[in-house]
Amino acid sequence: RPRSNSESGVPSPLISTGMRASTSVFAALLSLASPSRADPNEQRQRHLALRRQRRSGASDPELAARCEKSARSPPAECRRRAPCDLRVFDPGRAFHRDVILQSRPREWAKNNVDAPNRHFQNGVEWWVHRALPPPAGERNASALVGARRVFVAAYFSYMFIFAPHKVPAALSSIEAGLGAGWRRGGRNVVAHGHPGACVGGTSGAVRLLVDDCSSCGGSRPYIAVPYVVSRPAWLVAAEPPPGRNRSILLFFRGHLPRVSIESRSVRRTMLKALAGQPDALVEAATARPGASYEPHGDYLKKMLRATFCLSPRGDTSSSKRTYESIAAGCIPVIIADGLRLPFERWLDWTAFSVRVKEASALADPLSVLRTLRAIPAARVAAMQAALREARPHFLWHLDPSRPSAVDAILREMCDGPPS
């Protein structure tokens, strides 16, 4: 289905004690696999240089360009170094690479298209798969002995939208390679970056989820991950895009979810109440066939003009706009009870976001605006600073010289799902 346009004082520390170094905590040093004839001293110098870059948050444009050109089959220097022993199980290219190469874009409305590429907003599995070293042997379970976690490279989110007929064969291939008990024990990890992409055949395995709604409801265990926000380039650049005189207090644009799915009517209620408020820009779209959306870049630029961006639940609890707003420097206002947010164990979301109970929003929707208006300027500035610090952990890009969402996910995989 379509998911689109998508007290004064300093807040508590953004990152929990012992984890302040945001650019080097979860990404261990990049592995620079050079030919054996390379000068060891030169290798070491390059290694140290990249370490300094990661600590400073600086980018290496030349390395980034090389990695961009080799997006499909990256060399070792373009992959991410995991903080533990993470390996890949390959069920066969029919269930990852071929799903992308053989599928066609799905157009839900004008300017609302899902394409089978790395920018697919639900395509978490492409990024994790690409970040890790290739398997030692295709479908060779013996090569996985001793691994802390094993990522199963079946692209279930892509299959859900573009090739659902492949799911049964993918499950059969996984079981044939890993054995009937592959879902037990907490070692094997599968990605379901779309809330509707979960299938019974992966129940019990560790799941990477944007939320546990729809077919992913009741998933245990799981690790919360963000939606893929990988373009436009200015949105995911190392330096945050400049805010354009953030004269709008609160911005929201999004479709009205179908009543049959979103029975709580949070989004519908908020849109109706906020319409016409002088310091709020609220625009309703529609997901009906034949609908037209504004170009996505125009939508994102409106986020640059706002201090806060509303992110209410819609068809499900999660929304890509939460992560687009973080990339754009707009403080997210999240109305979605029960939604587990990514990286909560070491990122303090209260430092850079506002969370509102659904019952409060439904009972008095304008109380959200009153709350935002009452936040002192010093507190807003502190939240914006915390947002800039958190931002690198929600960006999806191919530059291994700076932190990314993939680094954070690999760390979470090593730590295992929260209890």
What percent of the chain has pLDDT above 70?
A: 81
Q: How confident is the model at residue 46 (pLDDT cuts 50, 70, 90)?
A: very low
Sign of CA dihedral 140, 141, 142, 143: positive
| Residue whose pair of structure tokens reads 């806060």 in the numeric block | 308
pLDDT-derived band at 142, boundaries 50, 70, 90:
confident
Q: Which residue has the tokens 């706002």?
A: 306
pLDDT for the residue 18? 35
- Separation CA 215–CA 198 (nearest Å): 5
Q: What pTM did the predictor assign? A: 0.85
| Residue 78 in tokens | 């373009």
The per-residue pLDDT for range 294-311, each reduced to its tens digit, is 789 999 999 999 999 999
Q: How far apart are alpha carbons 194 and 123 in whole angstroms?
A: 8
pLDDT value of residue 54: 52
Most confident of 60-69, 308-317, 374-383: 374-383
- Of the two residues 38 and 183, the one the predictor is more confident about is 183
Looking at residue 31, its pLDDT comes to 35
Report the side by side order of strands in the sheet with 331-335: 280-285, 248-255, 306-312, 331-335, 354-355
Backbone φ, ψ for residue 260 (5° rounding) = -65, -20
- pLDDT of the residue at 141: 80
Distance separating alpha carbons of residues 174 and 169, to the nearest angstrom: 9
What band does 233 get if pLDDT is binned at 50, 70 and 90?
very high
Instruction: Tell me the pLDDT band of 200, cut-offs 50, 70 and 90.
Output: very high
Q: What is the pLDDT of residue 287?
A: 53
Peptide bond into 232 cis (omega under 30): yes
Q: Which helix (H) or strand (E) holds 18?
A: none
393 by DSSP, 3-state: which? helix
Nearest to 179 by CA among 144, 223, 220: 144
Is it the case that residue 19 has pLDDT exceeding 50? Answer: no
pLDDT recorded at residue 11: 33
Residue 291: per-residue pLDDT: 61
Q: Is the pLDDT of residue 387 over 80?
A: yes
Comparing 36-40, 176-180, 230-234, 384-388, which segment has the lowest mean pLDDT?
Answer: 36-40
